[in-house]
Structure 1
Amino acid sequence: MKAFSALACILSFMQVVTASIPDKIYGVNLGSWLVLESWMLPAEWQAMGGQQCDDCSQCIATEFAYAQAFPNTVDANFDQHWSTWFTQDDVNQLAAAGINTVRIPLGYWIVEALVDRQTEFYPRGGLSQLKRGLSQLKAVGIQAILDHHGLPGVQTANQQFTGRCTSDVEFYTETNYHRALIWTAVMATLSHLDSDFGSVFAIEAVNEPIMNAQQTPGYGDFQNNFVRVVRAIEIIMGIPVPGNALSTPITTSNFTAAITTAINTNFNDYFNDEVRSALQDSIPILEGLANQLNIPAIFDFHLSSAPLNSSPGKQLLTTNFMDVNWQYNNPANPASVALGSQGYDNHLYYSFGGVADANEDAYLSSICNLQRVQQDASQGDSPLWFGEWALSTQFSASDDFLVKWADAQKLAYSQGQGWIFWNFKTETSTQAGDLGRQWSYLEGLQRGYLTQNPSQLNNPSVCDPYR
């Protein structure tokens, strides 16, 4: 009876991941939830004790600075924020709006064991909130991308979205690449074995790395290792990976023990020492999470009757990178490291300049003739989706223009795999002013800039005059 129950358990968990890339992505980012960006919620941030300043490195403007300033209250205050910024009501609104995908920005610190508490300062408890949110999203059929938004050591200077606003960029080092790979192993494991993660179809390696590839040494090797870590976890589980399998079945009854067995006896030479090391270092973290989150059963099941190298019905996670054209100066092409399902991300904000002149005709002429999907495809970076965009402009935009601007962007981005708006909402407050008009998807719906059916346009012919 015990063996039967254990086998039923593994077969149940082998059904967890059923998500795959939607035929067309209609999505929103859950920004400022698990990676807080204080510009999006100025009143709440001030009430929490945070600050705003022109140079975000000089005040309490990020999670790092806040946790450093308020070590005794940071966890409770952030738990309150997490619980109220993204709620069941938000889930219901997104489902009613036809959204089928969310991109969830995450910091490395959500895996708390990766944080050096002597030198790094972040709130704790985010993983439980992620499980809660993913469970709510799964219940209404919304799929998820886990986006590594804030990397160990910081991947881009002076940005709130990294969790620490600083000019000291240290991600592009062996130590922090390694920490990011451990994070990847943990997230890939949870995505396959924790039922709350059942709607996750992709893990994004790095949000917005430095654009100049000459300033990101080793990034191409990291891309390769990121893919191999995800696929190694899947090979151990018996999920078919093109051209790779364990040489002999694993019959241990514990998943973390299976990792050790695979590392020591089963992996072929395709998985290099860095991949093996990251997997090995993930084991105590996974064991700790099983106890912390009260989910030990997902790492402890009987395998002798169902070898991990014969697991039907499960799909590969999609490995996800910013596209090759995100960087310049001879960047590594992530397409060269693909092994199974892989997707590519591009972000486009006209409001930050450098794309088109600051007027309506220039904006529409540019977006209506956008060739990024085609340019990426020519280098193998397909499918491509646009993981961040908004209605923001460099000039004072009329309501009439914002209707056109929404239509034209959706039309352009739908040439690829689809789009994910930044952000699902912004704060409504005196301090926030009219922020939501151009940055909140839900407010854009209310104002009529965005259509209730995300696949439709207010004016399908919006680009005709500009072609």
Structure 2
Amino acid sequence: MRPRFIGRALQDESYGPRQSYASSGNSVPIGDDAQSSVYGLNPNGSQTRDTAYYSLNYRDDPHDSDFAGQSTPDLTGYGKISSPYLSEKRAAYAAPRQRSRKRALIIGGLVLVAVIIVAVVVAVYFTVGKSHKGSGSASGGVSHGDGSGETTKTGSTLIVTGGDGSKVTKDDGSTFIYSNSYGGIWYWDPSDPFNNGARPQSWSPALNETFNYGIDSIRGVNLGGWLNTEPVSFPFSDAPALYEKYLNGPIVAIDEFTLSQAMAADTAGGGLKQLEDHYATFITEEDFAQIAAAGLNYVRIPLPYWAIEVRQNEPFLANTCWKYFLKAIQWARKYGIRINLDLHALPGSQNGWNHSSKFGTINVLNGPMGLANAQRALDYIRILAEFISQPEYQNVVTMFGVTNEPLTPTFGQENLARYYLQAYNIVRKASGIGEGNGPMISFHEGFAGLSAWNGYYTNSDRVSYDIHPYVCFNGQSTDGYDTRATQPCTSWGANQNQSMASNGLTAAGEFSNAINDCGLYVNGVNLGTRYEGNYTGGPWPRQGSCEPWTDWQSWTPAMKKDIMNFALASMDALQHWFFWTWKIGNSSVTGKVESPAWSYQLGLQEGWMPKDPRKASGTCGNSSPWTPPLKSWQTGGAGADQIPASFSSSFAWPPTVISNVGAATLVPTYTQTGPIPTLPGPTFTSAAATVSVGSGWQNSADNKGLAVAIPTCSYLDPWVGTTDPPSPLCSGSSSKRDDKRKVFEAVITPAPTATAARRFKRDSS
């Protein structure tokens, strides 16, 4: 993702600006990933940069000291990390006894009518409620003809399915007309809530049909800023705007941590309930209907760990966004859309950016709480995997991104590989029934580059790789879309093909239309922009005003066509993708979208996004097309789930070394003895919906406890940053946080002087 954060907390108990690698002037060689460069889409400006380098600057970076002027230690023997992408879910009744001939005739007549009704119901059920090629849904499926018209449930006036022009009834009883000219079929029967017969378009498999990864195209959007909030997607939402509301208060909202604190203190303004109000209104059922009608077949939904629980003084609204994720599963099922569930925010933060829970330092696999926080994260992966592996949900939630954007240059590829292997084993154990079951597992490449993962997880069961190729956070230029329209073709396509051939399914989990960093809060709250030269992580030379790039109401037809061409080239080159993001709300100040290059919905409405994404096919000239299929083991077939024992041994969990600490034995860990919280299923209001919603736990043999604190051990705050571990590591007294150790809080500071910057860089080496 793009830089969704603010400032940085220095590790020497002083503060400095949160710089990007673009502003620090550091670069990392691209190795053999030259064609996948996001930096390659940015022409050289007046910055001192070489286009042969990606830099670690594709987005702002809160911890330059973690790798400023130095390479990541080679902990594995697999080579140093180069980062081309960091550059920034009837009863039968007995017949009564016959007592008279007349009564028998009456009863006989009634039985005859009943038989006819049953015959009709059975016929409808097997033509509408069953698919000829179902994939084992919990409650059967639907196979529709051409999708026209509506099907009314026998014995009632409830419409349960329809196509273009049909009337849809929502949960609250209100209705709207479904407009989908691409053969999409919606299906929702309250008495059969796990029916998987819906289809988003004629060319996309219905939920009860097999999605052939590598052949069927993933065309998706993120539902960013909904269940995991962040300023760029969510400064606006509904009135009053939530982030904007707390820009000048005693607690400045710059991430969900501080937003939650500010809201909790604002009891008169609604307190934390404001967040649930946002969940209930920002994304609704009609968004899912519109997504299917836009020719899209997937959504990627960022979800934070506090959907499950919070601990200690964590301020997040716990256990609440989960019930809205359940609504997302229901709506996705209704319109035939598959879900990529992305665990977006981890305890302690996996990258220090504002979308990861709290901006500042990295505390997963890094620092004194790095191992304990990773243990918690793996537990949350397990809890989610157990839920979505249930037959009621597995045909809807078909992908699981186990961690969004872990920052490999901080903690090393070896430790990320260990973490990923442990996550893989956890997710596959959750299905409990062997290979080919449970979700596709998505690993973000961690800013190491796709080729860095060649040879990892061979013969795994359906592992895919995720990249986020943004182009707007590097060198800024006044060049327009007309000069960049086909550049994604030469920069991305070949690398995607190589990765699919070597590693398996490869998809862009995020990309946008932005070619510069203009837009409200794109870089973070009140951080300015590189383009206008007022970015606090600078210095950056001013290129001009951002107004022409954000005033979409003044864009000419020619400019919209150029943006369309850029979008089509990106889609064709990436092949499998999720645009960031579906919608951007209106600013409460200006009353309009202030980051137009990031909104798919606005682009559709205003004419710079394709109404049919299939139009992208062939934009790049098919000079290096992907030749399917994927290898058998990459799709769950022969040889899957047979990772070599030597690999499993080399990357066993836990790690032996934790970055910025040393031996893993020096840091506190949790014990797996706590009770496991099980996620609840949905509640259906229809009296007829008496079907089971699942227990929340697919594999009853998976009974290891939750990672919890050892009573005799000392622990630091999960967000403490790089500092010495608590001492003694384990004591005879109850666990207490060491109050003498400072926990850095978020602050906005001016840029350092040249002398201070040099000292900071030297001290961090």
TM over 0.5: yes
Structure 1 residue 412: Cα displacement: 4.2
Give deviations 1:331-363, integer Å, cap 9, x for gaps: 666843662112111112211125988544653
Pick the aligned partner of 2:510 from 388, 406, 414. Answer: 388
SS of the aligned residue for 2:232 comes to helix
SS of the aligned residue for 1:66 comes to helix
Map of 2:234 onto structure 1: 41
Could you tell me which amino acid in structure 1 is paired with residue 343 of structure 2? H
Aligned residues, how many? Answer: 373
Q: Can you give the 5+ residue segments of structure 2 that lack an aligned partner in the other structure?
A: 1-135, 141-193, 195-206, 517-545, 550-554, 623-765
For the 8 Å contact 2:222–2:299, the answer to whether it is kept is yes
Pick the aligned partner of 2:305 from 80, 85, 108. Answer: 108
Map of 1:26 onto structure 2: 219
Rate the CA distance shift 1:52–1:332 in 2: closer, same or farther, 3 A.
farther
Pick the aligned partner of 2:334 from 136, 139, 147. Answer: 139
Pick the aligned partner of 1:162 from 335, 345, 356. Answer: 356
Distance, in Å, in 2 between the alignment partners of 1:386 and 1:333 is 17
Out of 424-433 and 135-144, give the one that drifted further: 424-433
Could you tell me which amino acid in structure 2 is paired with residue 348 of structure 1? P
For the 8 Å contact 1:407–1:462, the answer to whether it is kept is no
Map of 2:469 onto structure 1: 348
Rate the CA distance shift 1:330–1:133 in 2: closer, same or farther, 3 A.
closer
Rate the CA distance shift 1:226–1:168 in 2: closer, same or farther, 3 A.
same
Matched, 1:59 2:252: yes
Distance, in Å, in 2 between the alignment partners of 1:408 and 1:13 is 42
For the 8 Å contact 2:572–2:620, the answer to whether it is kept is no
Could you tell me which amino acid in structure 1 is paired with residue 283 of structure 2? F
For the 8 Å contact 2:238–2:278, the answer to whether it is kept is no
Matched, 1:84 2:242: no
Q: TM-score, normalising length from structure 1?
A: 0.70
Distance, in Å, in 2 between the alignment partners of 1:434 and 1:145 is 26
For the 8 Å contact 2:303–2:343, the answer to whether it is kept is yes
Map of 2:378 onto structure 1: 181
Give deviations 1:364-385, integer Å, cap 9, x for gaps: 3531312455367258233211
Rate the CA distance shift 1:83–1:53 in 2: closer, same or farther, 3 A.
closer
Rate the CA distance shift 1:67–1:371 in 2: closer, same or farther, 3 A.
closer
Structure having the higher helix fraction is 1
Identity %: 23
Q: Summarize the alignment of residues 393-432 of structure 1 with structure 2, pairs less than 5 Å apart.
A: 393-394=515-516, 396=548, 399=556, 400-429=558-587, 431=589
For the 8 Å contact 1:28–1:101, the answer to whether it is kept is yes
Give deviations 1:1-34, integer Å, cap 9, x for gaps: xxxxxxxxxx974977967465101110000110
Structure 1 residue 422: Cα displacement: 0.8
Could you tell me which amino acid in structure 1 is paired with residue 363 of structure 2? E
Could you tell me which amino acid in structure 1 is paired with residue 227 of structure 2? L
SS of the aligned residue for 2:472 comes to helix
Matched, 1:319 2:319: no
Larger Rg: 2
Structure 1 residue 144: Cα displacement: 0.4
Could you tell me which amino acid in structure 2 is paired with residue 227 of structure 1? Y
Could you tell me which amino acid in structure 2 is paired with residue 76 of structure 1? K
Distance, in Å, in 2 between the alignment partners of 1:52 and 1:209 is 30
Map of 1:276 onto structure 2: none
Rate the CA distance shift 1:366–1:357 in 2: closer, same or farther, 3 A.
farther
Name segments (4+ residues, structure 1) moved above 6 Å: 14-17, 52-55
Distance, in Å, in 2 between the alignment partners of 1:385 and 1:12 is 26
Distance, in Å, in 1 between the alignment partners of 2:273 and 2:452 is 42
Rate the CA distance shift 1:198–1:330 in 2: closer, same or farther, 3 A.
closer
Q: Can you give the 5+ residue segments of structure 1 that lack an aligned partner in the other structure?
A: 1-10, 242-313
SS of the aligned residue for 2:373 comes to helix
Could you tell me which amino acid in structure 2 is paired with residue 127 of structure 1? W
Could you tell me which amino acid in structure 2 is paired with residue 62 of structure 1? D
Give deviations 1:148-168, integer Å, cap 9, x for gaps: 1112211112x332132x222
Distance, in Å, in 2 between the alignment partners of 1:357 and 1:196 is 47
Distance, in Å, in 2 between the alignment partners of 1:330 and 1:416 is 16
Out of 349-358 and 134-143, give the one that drifted further: 349-358
For the 8 Å contact 1:107–1:151, the answer to whether it is kept is yes
Distance, in Å, in 1 between the alignment partners of 2:308 and 2:356 is 15
Rate the CA distance shift 1:95–1:330 in 2: closer, same or farther, 3 A.
closer
SS of the aligned residue for 1:79 comes to helix
SS of the aligned residue for 1:411 comes to helix
Out of 331-340 and 132-141, give the one that drifted further: 331-340
Map of 1:453 onto structure 2: 612
For the 8 Å contact 1:424–1:441, the answer to whether it is kept is yes
Pick the aligned partner of 2:343 from 148, 154, 157. Answer: 148
Map of 2:313 onto structure 1: 118
Rate the CA distance shift 1:401–1:463 in 2: closer, same or farther, 3 A.
farther
SS of the aligned residue for 1:152 comes to coil
Structure 1 residue 415: Cα displacement: 4.4
For the 8 Å contact 1:220–1:333, the answer to whether it is kept is no
For the 8 Å contact 1:142–1:199, the answer to whether it is kept is yes
Map of 1:287 onto structure 2: none
Distance, in Å, in 2 between the alignment partners of 1:194 and 1:141 is 16
For the 8 Å contact 1:83–1:129, the answer to whether it is kept is yes
For the 8 Å contact 1:42–1:431, the answer to whether it is kept is no
SS of the aligned residue for 1:392 comes to coil
Map of 1:377 onto structure 2: 498
For the 8 Å contact 2:572–2:619, the answer to whether it is kept is no
Pick the aligned partner of 1:206 from 403, 411, 416. Answer: 403
Distance, in Å, in 2 between the alignment partners of 1:226 and 1:341 is 13
SS of the aligned residue for 2:443 comes to strand
For the 8 Å contact 2:137–2:392, the answer to whether it is kept is no
Structure 1 residue 420: Cα displacement: 0.9
Q: Summarize the alignment of residues 242-253 of structure 1 with structure 2, pairs less than 5 Å apart.
A: none
Rate the CA distance shift 1:449–1:361 in 2: closer, same or farther, 3 A.
closer
For the 8 Å contact 1:45–1:51, the answer to whether it is kept is no
Q: TM-score, normalising length from structure 2?
A: 0.44
For the 8 Å contact 2:346–2:377, the answer to whether it is kept is yes
Map of 1:258 onto structure 2: none
Could you tell me which amino acid in structure 2 is paired with residue 163 of structure 1? S
Out of 405-414 and 380-389, give the one that drifted further: 405-414
Give deviations 1:47-66, integer Å, cap 9, x for gaps: 265448999x9721222112
For the 8 Å contact 2:304–2:343, the answer to whether it is kept is yes
For the 8 Å contact 1:102–1:142, the answer to whether it is kept is yes
Rate the CA distance shift 1:385–1:356 in 2: closer, same or farther, 3 A.
farther
Distance, in Å, in 2 between the alignment partners of 1:366 and 1:66 is 38
SS of the aligned residue for 2:514 comes to coil
